[in-house]
Structure formats: C-alpha cells, structure tokens
Amino acid sequence: MRDWLRLTRLLGLRWIRIHPLRSLLAVLAVAGGVSLAMSVVLTTSSVTWSFAHFSEKVAFGAQLRVIGATARGGLDGRVAGEVAATPGVSVAVPTVEAITPVISPSRRVTVVALGIGGRTWGVSPQVAGLRDAFLMTDAGPLPLGGAPVEPALAGVAGGDVVVMPLAMSQSLFARSGRLDAVYVVPAKGADLSSLTRRLQKAVGPWNAVVPAGSLPPEASVVTQSFLPLLGLLAVLAVGVSVVLVHDIVDLAFSERRRSMAVVAALGGSPLAVALPATEVVILGLAGGVIGVGGAALVARTIVGTIDALVHQLAGVPLSIHLSVPVALAAPMGGVLVSLVAAAGPLRRARAIDVAAELSGRDAISVASDRLRVGRAAIYSALMAIGLAGCWMSSLHGSLAPWQYPVGIASFGLTVVAAMLAVGNLAPLALHLARGVATAGHAGAAVRLALSNLVRSPRRTGTMAVAVAGAVGVAFIAASYSRSATEGIVGATKVPQARWVYVSKGSTASVTIDTEDRFSPAELAALAHVPGVSRVVRQVGVLTGHSASSVIGVETSDDLHVAGLPLVEGSASRALLLRGEALVGTALARRQHLRPGSKVILDTPGGLARIPVAGIWEVGDFNGSSVFISEQEMTRLYGSQPPTNVYAYARPGVPLGELARRIVSAGIAVDVHAATPSQTQAAWVRSVAGQIAPFWALQRALTLLAFVAVLSTFVLAGVQRRKEYGALSAVGFSPRDLSKMVITEGALVGASGTLLGGLLGVVGSVGLIAIVPLVVGYRNPFVLAPAYWAGYGAVAVAVTLAASLLPAWRAAHIPVLDALREE
Amino acid sequence: MIADGHDGPLLQLSGIWRSYERGTETVVALSGVDLWVNPGEAVALIGRSGSGKSTLLHIAGGLDLADRGTVRVTGRDPAAMSVSQRAELRRHAVGFVFQFFHLLPQLTVVENVELPLLLNGGRKSRSRARDVLASVGLAEKADRYPTELSGGEMQRVALARALVGGAPLILADEPTGNLDSVTGGEVLDLLIAQVAERDAALLLVTHDAQAAGRADRVLTLVDGKIASASR
C-alpha cells in the first residue's frame, strides 16, 4: 500500500509540481464549468432553503403545511380545527402571512406580517429601527412606534417581519374567518406519508398538504420562467469545460506517452501505467472546490434577480445558502467532469504500443487529426433539425402536450449541435482563409499561424467553441432583451395611450398577493381627481398549490379583450359576461383545454368549472392564466382589491399633468402615477433586470474562453518546442515566433466571433420560437448585431491577451535545447 | 540455474516472424530468427538501421509479440501470458537499457532507479537504489533530475535501473548509440562488468562493431534474418 502511494505520488502527482501553469489552467477550466453548472443548482437550493428556513422559524418543528385555494386568505378558518383533529397531528399552527410594506419617511420595506395563534404583538429589531414607520394594512396605516421589539425575529425573513395575534392579523388584513396556512407538527412516530394522505382527505381537494418548507406557488411563477433557460446555458458551459479538460488531459497524456511506455517496459501493471490519471482526479477536485466559490459569485446575481420579484410576492428575502450536499457535489462534479474528459485520452494512452513508442516508430502524433467536413455537415443538419423542432413547437399556440417537451429538447439540440458544428466549422473556415493567404501576399508568420490552426482542427475547434460560446450568448441575450423591449413597446402603444398607471410603492410594482392595494374608498377618491374620466381596475388572484398547478385568475373593469392575440375560439365582452373564460396557452396545454371545454379552478369554496370561450397568447403568469368577468371573480373568490389601476384622462388633459395631480391628491400613502412612456420604461428596466443572470453567465463564459485559449496555446507551445527550434534555425526571429502565436490568437478570436454570430442567430431563432412555451407570450424576432460586433471585439481582445504568454514563451525558447530533444 | 529455478538459456527465440504496417505498406521486420542467450553470456546483435534489431529486442522483452515462432524468457512464454503477466515477467526477469535512456524527467535520479522496486512492491527500495547507483558511480547525483546529467551519466542511471531489480536477463538497445566513443566505452565497460558480476545474460543490440566485439558471441541481422554468427 505504501509503495502504491509512493508510485501514485511519483507517477501521478509529480506532474502537478513540475507543470504548475498547466495544472492551474486545467483547474480553472474545471472550475469554470463547475461554477456555471453549480450556480443553477445553488440558486435552486438557495431559493428552496430560504423558504424552508422561513417556515422553520415561523413554526418550529413543523413538517407539513396546509395551504388553500389562493395564497391570500385561501383557507377557511375551520380547517385549522380539522387539521388539529386529524390523528397523527401533534400541533396545528394557523397563520396569516400578509406581505405588506412598512413605510417610514426614509425607507419603504416589504415585510411579512405574521399572524400566529398564541403570539403577542411585536416587531423585529430591524423594523423597530425604522423611525415613524407605519405598517400598511387593509384597515389603514398602523403606527409601529412603541411596538415591542423581539430580538428573536431578527433571523426571520431577514428581519423584515412583524408578528401579531392571529385574530389581529385577520382583522387588519381582511381575512375574517380565513387563514393563509396551517403548519403541522406531526405526533412522535407518525408516518409522514400516511399523515399527509389523512390530512388531504380532511381538508378537501381544493386545499393542499405540502412539505412545510416547500416553495410557495407564487415564487414558482418567477423561478419557472428562466431557470430552465439558465440551466441550458449551464449545460453548455459544462460541455465547453469537458471539451477543454479533455483537450488538456489529452495533450498532457500525449506528452506522457513516453513515460507511460517506460513504466510498462519496466514491468508496470496496466494499473500502474494508468497512474497519471490520479493527477486528473486531483485537478478535478481542486477545480470543483474553486468552482464552489465561482458558483456562489454567479448565483449571487441570479438570486438577486429572483429576489427582486419573489421578495415582493412572498415576503421572504432570498439569500445564498451553501448546503453541505451542494458543497460536496461541486468537488465531486469537478472530479466527474475531469474523469469524463479524461476517459478517452486515458483509454488511448493505455492502448499505446510500448515497443513502437520506445523506438519512435509509429508514435501517434497529436497533430494527425483531420478536418472533419462530414461531422460539420452532420452537426449542421442536427442544428437545422433542432430549429425545425423549435418552430414546430411554436405552431398553433403550442397547445398540444407534445410541443413543450419537443420545444425544450429541440432548443437543447439546436444549441448543442450548433456548438459542435462551430467546433468543426472553425478549422474549415481557417482552411479557406489559409487558401486566401497563400494566394495573397501574407507573411510567413501569418501563413504558419493558419497552418498550425488548420493542422490541429480539434484543438482549434475547442478554442473556437469557447470563444463562440461567449460571443453567441451575448448576442442571444442582447437580441432577446431587444425583442422583449419591442414586445413591451408594441403592447403599451404609447402614442395612442390615454391612461396613467397608478400604484403604491413604485412605478412597476408587483402587487399580486400583497396587501398594499387600493381600497374602494381610495379608488373612489382617485376617480374624483380632476381630469380623470374613469378608473379601470385589474384584479388578479393566484390559485394552485404547486409550481405545476399554479393558475392566475384575472379580471378587469373594462373587459378589454379586442386585438389581443387569440389562438383558438372567440373573445368578447359578451362571452365573458355570460360566465365564460379566456385561458392562457400554457394552461390550455396543461389541462388539455379547447374552446367549449371547462377549466377547473381551486376556490375557497371547492372546485369550480368554468367554460372556455377562447385561448389567447397573453403572458400573465407565464401563460397559466384564466381571464373572467368581475362578477365571476367575486362569485369565486369574493371581493378582491385591484392588482393594477389605470386612470384614464379626460380629453385635453396632458398625461404628465394628470399624473402630477394624482400624486398630489393625497388619496393614499406613497402613491405613484406613471405616464405610458414612464410605465414602458419601468417595464423595460424590469426585463433588463431579469436578463441580468444571462449576462453573469456570459461573463463567466468569456473567462472560460480566456482559459481555453491560454491553456491550449501553452500546451501547443510545449509540443512545438522542437518545431520552434527548427524555425529559429531556418531564420525565424523571436519576434516572428511571437507574432505567429499572437496571430493564431487573433485568428481564433476572429473565427470564434464569426461563428459566435452564427450561434447567436441560430440560438435567437430557437429561443424566440420556444419562449412562448416558457413565458406564455410571443415576442417579435429581433437581432442585436451591434452587440455581436461589440462582444466579438471583446473576444478578439481576450484571445489576444491569452496568447501573450505563450507568444513570449515561444520567443524565449532555448533553440539548441529544443533541437536536441528527441 | 537461476533464482527462479529455470535451467537452460535465459532467452530462447525460435523461428520468430514479425511484420507491421507502415501506412499502406507491410514491413517484414523479422523472418524466422533463432536465438538464445545463456546465463553469464553476453550476445551482441548487430545490423544496419531497419534490420529488425530493436523489434527482436522488444519481442525478447515481451513488449511486442511475434506473429509466428516461440519465445521463452526464463523458460516462460510471453505469448501465452496476459498483459499483466507479461508486465510481471518484465519486473522479475528483464532489465531494459535504451539508446535514449528513457528516464522519467519528473523523477530524480534515485527515484528513477527505485521505480522497478516500487512496481515490485519491494522493501528498502530507496537504500537499495542508492547502493546500485553507487555501484555505477553516481551516488553523489542521486537527488538530481535527469536533465541535470550528461548523456553518459543518464545512461549509467538507466543501467542502474535495469540492474536494481536483480533481473537475470538484460536487454540493451544501442546503449552507446547516443554517446561519444569515450563515454560509450565507459558505459559499456560498466554494463559488461555489472552483468558478469551478477551472472546475468545480456543481449546487446548495437551497430558499433567495437562494442559488439566485447560480447561472447556476435550475431548479424540482415533483412530480418540472422545472417552470421561468430565468437
């Protein structure tokens, strides 16, 4: 055993000490891929942990939670008694969890106002620190001055919390006889799954029994809209990382073939010959450990974006939480990435012809790979098939159940095939460029640079993929951003609009399921502001118990449905007044709905079945929406405060002037009024915020491209030492050698940028086609070529920077030593 | 008789044929070679480049397998063995010395010499490696790296590595081919002396007639066949 450890150290790990730069680059390549992949895992686990942590603080020891048909007051108060009486329940804790602002002269904070049976009134130290603050309630602002401070609340929901007796919260937040949730502490020894079944039977199918720390449906609406796309990009990054590590390991093993042959000649067993693989494991482990830090950095941006929305919807601030399984998964993932990448090279290395290797006969050259025209064609064809799948998934409103999986899989196929096509097309493009350079008057350094890249197509392809990945993702993100912006511009129709958007808090506030909404009295006061012709309210209620069953039920005063994109059926005010509904495409697909069928809704009174008049492509609630008349809304969910309020201007009243009048009318605390152009700008900013995670990934991919080019050139430089010596011998100056390497860097950057454009166009086409599947609405197809050019320039600069060190090393090679090498 | 109880020649090759592909061409390296080496005997194999000398040596050491013919190394047939068994045979019975030394650049001199012992799971491997290094006159350079040594010193390290495991059969492939004549002579002296001291068998592949003259027998290989034999 001791001998094996020493052998491992000598034959495997010694290389790390001998070649620290190469080892570092391999570690960084692994770390890059692991960072991006784990950032998505870390984001998901952090969101889950944040809610689980909140639940644990609210009801210590609870393992289950009973929730109602709607998030806000969705449970009948009698359910608490039914839950408590269920065999196997030790304690049932009924709660009201109102999401509402605390407003002080200096700050506005969204807090969770918790009503808990048996609790006394109190605020967290953070909330107590806000001077002259008011808690906004349905019964009006409640002064918080003098409220008892509970230090223990500092750790609940980031300290943005107020607690009160249950009855007080029901009174303040219009939940007479209603609850938001009942937390369940099981009796000792109770079987959780059978208890869940008993509870579900007791509370009825329109209510649900879920794990205490599970994500509330309103948070799922946010996370579901872009985590799948982020996941795809992360998969892409891991793919690049695997290819990079594969290349590094392949080149490293090629260099060690002689050593491995010597060990075999000395009688080393196949296992001993494979000991250099231990280095790969160590490097993968180190990359994975570093990847944890990288993942935390990337995840911080993503979680920040989600938090901006989820905090307002669910009141729970999200924070990065690195759990032990995730922390362990990263190094293991690093080892896995390395082993996957090393599998091929190791297999080839173990299959070496020892005799041939030692006598220099028939030794396999790393430069012996050929241009792969056939592969480029196959991957391009797969890319086209992927695009066709994306297009098919977008037909007829994407109502067929097969369209969602086909769309997502097709987009994945498109991106992966496009990346692989890029890897094979880049050497071909450079091959063509070499033809041009040869025919023209290009210098020897440029010709040699082109030849070097063309003769090692796999290596060149890897670098091009890394560069094209970074440029392509920038192109896709920018194009998507512009597309979404144009969608918003088209929807707001600023020149024709005659309304002012009125809200509490901010211009583009998310108000669904928050308490800070306009009361009937405040709306009446708004209608009497001079210049207001009429007030249109939009109301939304969130139903459903899980991410897969969430439905937004909406209505508006004017039932304005004309001109909106109808996929099937008909849409008219008369149909809605008759009790029928318009449903979003995602819900229609999920529940197999067509005009004439009935959509099933959870309501506090049981399950309701509403006839479907039509299906439309409106993105509210990611397409899982039901639009009904106000009468139906009141019948199903009782009187609801408005989610959005529009004040229409009388003829001749300028909109800016109307907005000023509304703000100064003093109809409520913290009222904001925005003209259509201001509203549009706020929505555009909101979209830009949602795309922030993609830019974080893009920056990480750019870093990965830098590592890819640097590591590849460093390794190529090691392999070409003798060649550099020969070039020097025939008259190449050190400057020529460095110029050759830098030219290679520039050519990789240029080809990567060119093919990044292809990747960007293909990715954008696929993304625009499948976006309706994910978010429920269709944006116009727009490209942002300026971003492609800009990020292409960045990519070329990055590859040039990455080639500087290898160029310096090439210029400083000891010629005689290099020529003497076997 | 040697340590593992084998009587007779330590190496015996009968009717060895070997060809290999080079591009689209089939190159016949050996065509019906017969050869044996007894304990305490040094046999030189000479011939031009491409005559099949190195191929024969690799087959003798179980690094390569013959297309036809029989091979016996200390009485055992490498062709009937698995890859692992052949590796074990080399560990116990064969010591290689190469023209280009083939020292592992990442290991120090003593670590290179110690390597066969570690592969063998032997105890006190470090002190034994130092002893053998001392016997080839390199005790003071034990902790250097191969790149810090001269060609002659590197070959002496390679020789120490071949001897350290006590292998009864030493296969040397142009051991002086990459050295100047004076250094080559010194290395050869050392090789012959060390082999004689251990009563081992030596098969020496060389194109240097002077070096071949130091052997007990000289075989000439021409176009894959033994063309002549002399004492």
Instruction: Give the DSSP per-residue string, A285-340.
Output: HHHHHHHHHHHHHHHHHHHHHHHHHHHHHH-PPP-----HHHHHHHHHHHHHHHHH
* Domains of chain A: total: 4
From A639, A667, A695, the end of a domain falls on A667
Nearest by CB to residue A268, choosing from B54, B64, B119, is B119
* Six token digits for residue A468: 């094209």
Quick: pLDDT tens for A413-464.
998 899 889 989 999 999 999 888 877 777 778 888 898 898 888 888 888 9
- For B11-230, give the CATH class: alpha beta
Q: Are residues A30 and A51 in the same domain?
A: yes
**Sequence-ordered list of residues with C-beta below 8 angstroms from that of A767, at least 6 positions apart, any chain:** A229, A411, A476, A480
Q: Which residue has the higher pLDDT, A493 or A594?
A: A594
Q: Are residues A693 and A794 in the same domain?
A: yes
Nearest by CB to residue A270, choosing from B83, B96, B165, is B83
Closest CA to A109 of A311, A278, A382, A385: A311
Q: Does B124 touch chain A (CB under 8 A)?
A: no
pLDDT, position A709: 83
pLDDT classification of A35: cutoffs 50, 70, 90: confident
Q: Are residues A40 and A76 in the same domain?
A: no
Residue A267 to residue B119, Cβ atoms within 8 A: yes
Q: What are phi and psi of A700, to 5 degrees?
A: -65, -40
* Six token digits for residue A104: 């002080």
Strands (E), A467-531: 499-504
Boundaries of every domain in chain B = 11-230
Residues of A in contact with B124 (CB under 8 A): none
Element (H, E) at B25: strand B25-37
Residues of B in contact with A11 (CB under 8 A): 104
Domain holding A485, by residue range, is: 380-399+417-494+683-822
Q: Are residues A239 and A358 in the same domain?
A: yes
Q: Are A72 and A639 in contact (CB under 8 A)?
A: no
What integer best gives the mean pLDDT of chain B?
A: 86
pLDDT, position A718: 76
% chain A with pLDDT above 70: 91
Nearest by CB to residue A359, choosing from B54, B87, B105, is B54
Q: Which residue has the higher pLDDT, A799 or A277?
A: A799
Q: Are residues A355 and A433 in the same domain?
A: no
pLDDT, position B1: 37
Q: Are residues A160 and A236 in the same domain?
A: no
Residues of A in contact with B102 (CB under 8 A): 258, 261-262, 265, 358
**What is the rounded average pLDDT of the residues B82-105?**
85
Is the confidence at residue A184, as pLDDT, over 60?
yes
Is the confidence at residue B2, as pLDDT, over 60?
no
Q: Are residues A65 and A44 in the same domain?
A: no
Is the confidence at residue A816, as pLDDT, over 70?
no
Distance from CA of A811 to the nearest CA of B (A): 22
pLDDT, position A225: 63
Residue A354 to residue B98, Cβ atoms within 8 A: no
What integer best gives the mean pLDDT of chain A?
A: 84
d(CA A592, CA A487): 27
pLDDT, position B21: 77
Q: Which of A215-224, A727-736, B139-148 has the lowest mean pLDDT?
A: A215-224
Residue B116 to residue A267, Cβ atoms within 8 A: yes
Whether A793 is covered by a domain: the verdict is yes
pLDDT classification of A152: cutoffs 50, 70, 90: confident
Q: Are residues A179 and A95 in the same domain?
A: yes
Whether A719 is covered by a domain: the verdict is yes
CA A224 to chain centre: 9
Q: Are residues A486 and A559 in the same domain?
A: no
Q: Are residues A428 and A552 in the same domain?
A: no
* Six token digits for residue A808: 């310096």
Residue B118 to residue A270, Cβ atoms within 8 A: no
Whether A615 is covered by a domain: the verdict is yes
Closest-CA residue of A relative to B95 is A266
Q: Which of A45-59, A228-242, A252-266, B160-174 has the lowest mean pLDDT?
A: A228-242
pLDDT, position B17: 94
pLDDT, position B177: 80
d(CA A791, CA A797): 10
Q: Does A266 touch chain B (CB under 8 A)?
A: yes
3-class SS shares of chain B: helix, strand, coil, % to 5? 35, 30, 35
CA A21 to chain centre: 33
Distance from CA of A258 to the nearest CA of B (A): 8
Residues of B in contact with A354 (CB under 8 A): 58, 63-64
pLDDT, position A365: 41
Q: Which of A13-17, A503-507, A668-672, B33-37 has the lowest mean pLDDT?
A: A503-507
Quick: pLDDT tens for A470-479.
899 889 888 9
Whether A404 is covered by a domain: the verdict is no
From A176, A211, A246, the end of a domain falls on A211
Whether A501 is covered by a domain: the verdict is no
**What ipTM does this complex have?**
0.74
Q: Are residues A75 and A43 in the same domain?
A: no
% chain A with pLDDT above 90: 32
pLDDT classification of A790: cutoffs 50, 70, 90: very high
Quick: pLDDT tens for A706-761.
887 888 888 778 777 778 877 776 777 888 889 999 999 999 999 999 999 999 99
pLDDT, position A88: 93
How many other C-beta atoms lie within 10 A of the C-beta of residue A771?
24
Whether A373 is covered by a domain: the verdict is no
Closest CA to A420 of A457, A367, A369, A366: A457
Whether A31 is covered by a domain: the verdict is yes
Place of tokens 């692994």: A30
In this complex, how many residue pairs, one in chain A and one in chain B, have their CB atoms less than 8 Å apart? 86
Residue A358 to residue B98, Cβ atoms within 8 A: yes
Whether A455 is covered by a domain: the verdict is yes
Residue B88 to residue A267, Cβ atoms within 8 A: yes
Q: Does A15 touch chain B (CB under 8 A)?
A: yes
pLDDT, position B203: 94
How many other C-beta atoms lie within 10 A of the C-beta of residue A289?
17
Residue A267 to residue B54, Cβ atoms within 8 A: no
Distance from CA of A352 to the nearest CA of B (A): 11
Q: What are phi and psi of A673, to 5 degrees?
A: -135, 130
Question: For A542, how many CA atoms within 13 A lie in the half-sphere containing its CB?
Answer: 28
Window 72-91 of B: residues touching A by CB (8 A cutoff) are: 83-84, 87-91
Q: Are residues A113 and A190 in the same domain?
A: yes
Nearest by CB to residue B91, choosing from A258, A267, A353, is A267
Q: Which residue has the higher pLDDT, A808 or A108?
A: A808
